[in-house]
A and B are shown apart, each in its own frame.
Chain A
Amino acid sequence: MSESLFDKIGGEGAVDAAVDIFYRKVLNDDSIAHFFDDTDMDGQIAKQKSFLTMAFGGPNEYTGTDMRKAHAPLVEKGLNESHFGAVAGHLQATLQELGVPEELTNEVMAIAGSTHDDVLGL
């Protein structure tokens, strides 16, 4: 049996390593920080963690409907294409910072990209 994407990246350990770097980048980006700037930092970190787990091809309970429902309030606040692109950029930069090989990064970005329509409510 071939190793899964999640295992190749480094499993849960990789998610733990990535979550702080990724969330810091997002909060430091003024164009998107307000979507993530909740006083409930634990909740926010938990959300980033489950997002990264999904993007890394790990075990998750996300469905398209969940994605749609979870992001609907943000779409109402003006979440659009450019914000989606910014978050994707931070994800890519996080993976580069962690030294994830290019072909794995591409796979992760493809999974993240597949959420596009649900996240933006299209």
Chain B
Amino acid sequence: MIFNNISYQVKKNESVLECLLRCELKIDYSCKTGNCQSCLLKSIAGDVDKKAQKGLKPTAIEQGFFLACQQQAEAIQKAESIDNELIFSHARLVNKQLFSNDICQLIIEPVSPLYYHAGQFINLKNSQGIVRSYSIANIPSEQQLIELHIHKKTNGAMSHWLFNEFNVGDNIDFQGPIGECFYTSENKNKPMILIGTGTGAAPLIGIVRDALKSGHQGLILFYHGARNIEGLYLHDMLSNLDKSHSNFNYLPSISHNDDLLSNLGSNDSAIKIVVGRCNEIAIKKLQPTPQTILYLCGNPEMVNTTRKKAFLAGIASKNIYIDPFEYKDLRKSER
């Protein structure tokens, strides 16, 4: 395979990304599962696999763009990287505030207006070249601002950088919006169930905001799960939505019952926090109809097992929207 005019030896069954990383080339990538689109390259000669173009815009497909992590290297004779300016746009950080000790909210302002749906994601690329995906939590408005929720991961290079070194006024590159996990008003009258763990609540609150703004008529159940109370970082906001909208129900849960009672004392919200896993609670109560729309965001294992259980319980496959938060494998060697 020739990449950027240099020839590389390809191993059987490896992906283009694996091949280039094995040869110690510095190229952008993040999820390695064909979702984040940060490893996008352009094919000059070769047979691009269908799955390596899944989710790409028609214009990108026409130009031979493909996802390096999903493409067999053997099938590509010649490829090249795509000009940074074609993929990345710029934005400025205008506000940053803590939701909790390890979750913060970033408000960024793109230099040019962005057309997007709340619930889609963008890839941020920092000055060190690290790329990560973050979901958009707000709906488009005249101010043209984008709201992101960042979870500080243990050893998370990007999240630590965003927490500690990315300051108001700083610029950042971003790619997107990307993704199919968002609200459509044709589902206005249908019952909607949203299940999210951790900052999986970010795309979900975006979807809820979109639904409520569109005058959604069906019942909305919002299951937010976290490890502890601090992780239910939208508790007050979602409790208020629950009170102000008769068709919106907020159902919080925590998987570890460490400090439930003492923390609840200071919280005068009427919403009851249940102990257990949010997806298991939701599946237990599930009453699927042919119309039921399901959104699943956050921990990939939660997303994938819940998707299957919901499907087997009778929810139509086309009515299940997912956004698994794949985290980059920090180990240098392959699994």
Q: Give chain A's interface residues, CB within 8 Å of chain B.
A: 19-20, 23-24, 27-28, 39, 41-43, 45
Shortest CB-to-CB span from A7 to chain B, Å, is 23
Nearest residue, chain B, Cβ from A28: B312
Shortest CB-to-CB span from B311 to chain A, Å, is 7
A107 to B317, CA, bound (A): 27
| B312–A41 touching, CB < 8 Å | no
Residues of B within 8 A of A28 (CB): 312
| A20–B51 touching, CB < 8 Å | no
CB neighbors of A among B29-79 (8 A):
51, 54
A114 to B66, CA, bound (A): 36
| A24–B304 touching, CB < 8 Å | no
| B317–A27 touching, CB < 8 Å | no
Number of inter-chain CB pairs below 8 Å: 22
Q: Answer whether residue B234 sits at the interface, using C-beta atoms and an 8 A cutoff.
A: no
Q: Answer whether residue B11 sits at the interface, using C-beta atoms and an 8 A cutoff.
A: no
Q: Out of A39, A41, A43, which one reaches B311, CB within 8 Å?
A: A41
Nearest residue, chain B, Cβ from A49: B317
Query: Binary interface profile of B, 301-327, with partner A (CB < 8 Å = 1, else 0)?
Result: 000100110011010110000000000
Shortest CB-to-CB span from B282 to chain A, Å, is 18
By Cβ-Cβ distance, the 3 closest A-B pairs, closest first, are A39-B304, A20-B317, A45-B317
Given contacts A41-B307, A41-B308, contact A23 B317 (CB under 8 A): yes
Chain B residues touching A, majority SS? helix
| A24–B312 touching, CB < 8 Å | yes
Q: Give chain B's interface residues, CB within 8 Å of chain A.
A: 51, 54, 304, 307-308, 311-312, 314, 316-317
| B316–A41 touching, CB < 8 Å | no
Residues of A within 8 A of B304 (CB): 39, 41
| B317–A19 touching, CB < 8 Å | yes
Instruction: Taking A24-B311, A24-B312 as given, write out 20 further A-B residue pairs in contact, using a Cβ cutoff of 8 Å, ordered by the A residue number.
Output: A19-B317, A20-B311, A20-B316, A20-B317, A23-B311, A23-B317, A24-B314, A27-B308, A27-B311, A27-B312, A28-B312, A39-B304, A41-B304, A41-B307, A41-B308, A41-B311, A41-B317, A42-B54, A43-B51, A45-B317
Shortest CB-to-CB span from B286 to chain A, Å, is 15
A39 to B308, CA, bound (A): 9
Residues of A within 8 A of B311 (CB): 20, 23-24, 27, 41
Residues of B within 8 A of A19 (CB): 317
Residues of A within 8 A of B317 (CB): 19-20, 23, 41, 45
A23 to B304, CA, bound (A): 16
Shortest CB-to-CB span from B330 to chain A, Å, is 21
Shortest CB-to-CB span from B312 to chain A, Å, is 6
